[in-house]
Structure 1
Amino acid sequence: MNKKTPTSSVSIPKRFITHFFTRKSSALLIWLSAIIGILAGAMSALFDHGIIWISELRLQLIASFGDSDIPLWIVAIPISSFMAGLAFYLTHRFAPEAGGSGIPEIEGAMEGMRPVRWKRVIPVKFFGGLLALGSGMALGREGPSVQMGGNIGRMISDIFKVDQADAQALLAAGAAGGLAAAFNAPLAGIMFVIEEMRSQFNYSLTSTKSVFMSAVMATIVMRFMSGQDAVISVTHYSHPDLLSLWLYLLLGFCFGVIGLFFNKLLLAAQDMYLFIHKNKRWRFVSVGLFLGAVFGALSVLEPQLAYSGLELIPEIAGGHYLSGALMIIFLFRIVTTLASFGSGAPGGVFAPTLALGTLFGMLFGLACHALFPELVTEPGRFAIAGMGGLFAASVRAPITGILLVIEMTSNYEMILPLIVTCLGATMVAQTLGGRPIYTQLLERTMRISMRQKRQEQARKAMVHLERNQR
């Protein structure tokens, strides 16, 4: 009896450890999600700091020619052209799926339709995104953060050899962590997976907790590395007059129409670029060289039309532009956003969409202030509501849009007008037959992939036939 006692005392923790580290253990999945969140937060923070560093380095290099007779916008052309061209080359050569925002790729991977080659995608998306965004293109950092976060989730899944269901949960957890860290918005990161990826996400208590854990840990790491301030510093508005809520609903109706056409233009821009480069590398890189040159010049001449647009939002909401200037910037930023995102550059469209929504919201607010001066005293409120309106209409994720704006701006008292605006935008977009942009982008990617496979099979069949004839 005495000899068996030590064996039994040792077997209890051994059985516990074996059970804890089994592939089916929910506790293990939660801990893996925490690791994923930490890595996704660190990756997003490094990506953010890298964009700032490379952008400042580019501007310092341009400014060093200030004493010469050459205009600075001409100096910016070859520098930005080289950066963007290199980003396009890295993407096409090593990981074509790293082009664009990457969010449709994550959604496709969750459905088992797209591969996740994390060994290629993570470095290509990181360095390609730094070069593309640093060159001045109108792209956001959230798409790369989501895709890199999702790929980190798959990396951890492969390392620990979890089963397919758990691997999908960790993929979703990584995506949530990436978005939460990109915008310092944990609730929006969680809701984005639950709301936007609802058709792909396997709802269960464990998978939902995994998403929560990753988003929380990613946000903690991001705030530790970059600070706890809100991403966008704008005026904190109080509750608007309840009698003015119908104006926010009308603003949402406008965004429903705008969002429908905006999505169509994004898809048309991608088709136009595909027609131009036909997926040939030298043509694809040439597109990058050209766009880099254009946005390099714009970043010096008219910086309001370049970059992601997040840095423009405080100026817009602060009333620094008149209505005429707002309209011009709004129209031209639509063009620059389409030109940048449609090209397949490694960058997202979240941030440019938020900037466009803010521009139109402020325009609408100024018009309402002119028509109803006693009812609308602060047009900037409509700029805040507009941030979520276009996002809700385009992505068709209204709750994510509401939470994203509140967390990014700390305007918690704007929740009611935000709900009304996003609800109106979603209702009109759905009524007009609009579909979520990322769903359409995934479908387009699958069509192109299937067409390329058929062409490759036909080419191999022709080669085989020619060999047999010889």
Structure 2
Amino acid sequence: MAQQTNEAQDESLQRNPQSNVMRRFLASHQSSLPILFLAVFVGLLAGLLCTFFDIAIDWVITQRNEWSKAHGEMSLLTIVAVVVSSALLSAFGFLLVKKVAPEAAGSGIPEIEGALDGLRPVRWWRVIPAKFFGGIGAIGAGLVLGREGPSVQMGSSVGRMITDVFRLNDDESRHTLVASGAAAGLAAAFNAPLAGIMFVVEEMRPQFRYNLISIKSVMIAAIVATITYRYFQGQGAMIPLPAHADVPLEALGLFLILGLMFGGFGVLFNRMVVWSMDGFERLHRHKTKRFIGIGAALGAMFGVMIIFLPRLTGAGESLITDAVGGSFTLSMLLLLFVARTVTTLACFCSGAPGGVFAPMLALGTLFGTCFGAVCMLVFPDFDITIGMFAVAGMGALFAATVRAPITGILLVIELTHNYELILPLLITSLGATMTAQAMGGKPLYSQLLQRTLSKQKAAVSTENENTPT
């Protein structure tokens, strides 16, 4: 009887091969299907949230620019209005961080890494509004901050929110969807799905639990978030740059030298980040009025610079295209590099809700362009352009500081659509990473997470000492 039943099933499967494929698929994915379906929702919600975050920031900046043009860009009324509005926007962002979600300060990526390791909580109900509206305020005020940090933290918070809504209590599912949200956030922030996936796999490798279910979920969330972003914002490159020809083989050694230089600067930059954060903490002493006052002062200062020194404000996307286009002299490139290093540290380390990826890409472009200009003078026979070194510099500084070279390479390629520069990007990023490692430097977000955990431990110890027995 059993033999007849099996023969009947085999005959049915032979008649309907599509059903056979579907049954095998369902059988092999039965345990993971709910998580994979939820990853779709994570990607969709994170994509919508990050896309509207991007649109809102652009709206604030556009409204300010149009108002300034309508009332005279250098008139006293315009100067006062821009300075006051920037101060208020920045103070609002700092207020939300201090009063609503202190963990929303900075990029938020160390918080997500800590959450994936089970060391930090994900309070999505307060992080999402604080990061969304606070990020709009701080970035809209003209501070040198990127949108990717808030997007990653909001995306991860969406992942945790989904686990709470659907009451998923197992740790593996929560971990997978939080990681999927991080990938979706970065993918939507930069319109870069591959970079979003690799960011979780490579940069968060100490925390990410790699298995077939988790990597599928990360890929699904990043794909859905990117499609969502492109539906509203289009499919073009976020930083459109001219296409470059292949780099001559005899010039590849120059890119290795550039990478070695970036490796040293990356270690120094990470140390300056920690020093600057400690300095800001000594300044505001965790007091609300002082903290918000610093935010207002930064906003007012950058409001003045929006009028008189606009190149030193914002994340720097337009600065990248201008530098590659040859708009600056060699001395101006060096001056901008030093000045924007200072403004990047001041904004990112102050506790403002914003990221540092985009400002670092601008710094890498400036120094890479400067190095390329020197190489063109020293080696006039080489068929090279400053744009080649500018693109390579973008990936090199990212690799040296974040210590995720593959993510940096993919991010630069997806941002600029310069696929021909993969080889120089690989060489420069590898040189930067090896130099930073040889100098004893640690990845930026690992340092920041350890700093947060150390302060958390110290606070708990102090509280225990002060508690009467």
Q: Normalising to structure 1: TM-score of the pair?
A: 0.92
Equivalent of residue 31 in structure 2, options 18, 25, 34: 25
AA of the residue aligned to 2:126: R
Equivalent of residue 454 in structure 2, options 443, 447, 463: 447
RMSD: 1.7
Q: SS at 1:114's partner residue?
A: coil
For structure 1, which runs of at least 5 residues remain unmatched after alignment? 1-19, 466-470
Equivalent of residue 324 in structure 1, options 303, 310, 331: 331
Decide whether aligned partners of structure 1 residues 68 and 415 sit closer, same or farther in structure 2, where only a CA change above 3 A counts.
closer
Note if 1:265 corresponds to 2:272.
Answer: yes
Equivalent of residue 251 in structure 1, options 243, 255, 258: 258
Q: SS at 2:340's partner residue?
A: helix
Match of 1:284 in 2: 291
The more displaced of 315-324 and 353-362 is 315-324
Note if 1:136 corresponds to 2:142.
Answer: yes
Match of 1:11 in 2: none
Q: Distance in 2 between matches of 1:108 and 1:311?
A: 33
Match of 1:230 in 2: 237
The more displaced of 441-450 and 415-424 is 441-450
Q: SS at 1:369's partner residue?
A: helix
Match of 2:301 in 1: 294
Decide whether aligned partners of structure 1 residues 69 and 210 sit closer, same or farther in structure 2, where only a CA change above 3 A counts.
closer
CA contact (8 A) 2:74 2:307 kept: no
Deviations 1:201-239 (A, max 9, x none): 011001000000000010000000100001001111111
Q: Distance in 1 between matches of 2:404 and 2:445?
A: 11
Decide whether aligned partners of structure 1 residues 385 and 455 sit closer, same or farther in structure 2, where only a CA change above 3 A counts.
same
CA contact (8 A) 1:368 1:376 kept: no
- Pairing 1:420-439 to 2, within 5 Å after superposition: 420-439=427-446
Deviations 1:43-83 (A, max 9, x none): 11101100000112233444454399516434322111111
Match of 2:60 in 1: 54
The more displaced of 156-165 and 397-406 is 156-165
Match of 1:16 in 2: none
AA of the residue aligned to 1:378: T
Decide whether aligned partners of structure 1 residues 307 and 67 sit closer, same or farther in structure 2, where only a CA change above 3 A counts.
closer
Q: Distance in 1 between matches of 2:246 and 2:68?
A: 45
Note if 1:93 corresponds to 2:102.
Answer: no
Deviation at 1:25, TM superposition (A): 2.6
The more displaced of 76-85 and 353-362 is 76-85
Note if 1:165 corresponds to 2:168.
Answer: no
Deviation at 1:254, TM superposition (A): 0.4
Q: Normalising to structure 2: TM-score of the pair?
A: 0.92
For structure 2, which runs of at least 5 residues remain unmatched after alignment? 1-25
Q: Distance in 2 between matches of 1:455 and 1:137?
A: 35
- Pairing 1:85-234 to 2, within 5 Å after superposition: 85-162=91-168, 163-234=170-241
Q: SS at 2:76's partner residue?
A: coil
* Identical pairs, percent: 50
AA of the residue aligned to 1:123: P
CA contact (8 A) 1:361 1:384 kept: yes
Equivalent of residue 343 in structure 1, options 350, 360, 364: 350
Match of 2:7 in 1: none
Q: Distance in 2 between matches of 1:38 and 1:48?
A: 15
CA contact (8 A) 2:109 2:149 kept: yes
The more displaced of 147-156 and 56-65 is 56-65
Deviation at 1:306, TM superposition (A): 0.5
Q: Distance in 1 between matches of 2:118 and 2:137?
A: 30
Equivalent of residue 422 in structure 2, options 394, 415, 440: 415
Q: Distance in 2 between matches of 1:67 and 1:447?
A: 47
Q: Distance in 2 between matches of 1:264 and 1:383?
A: 24
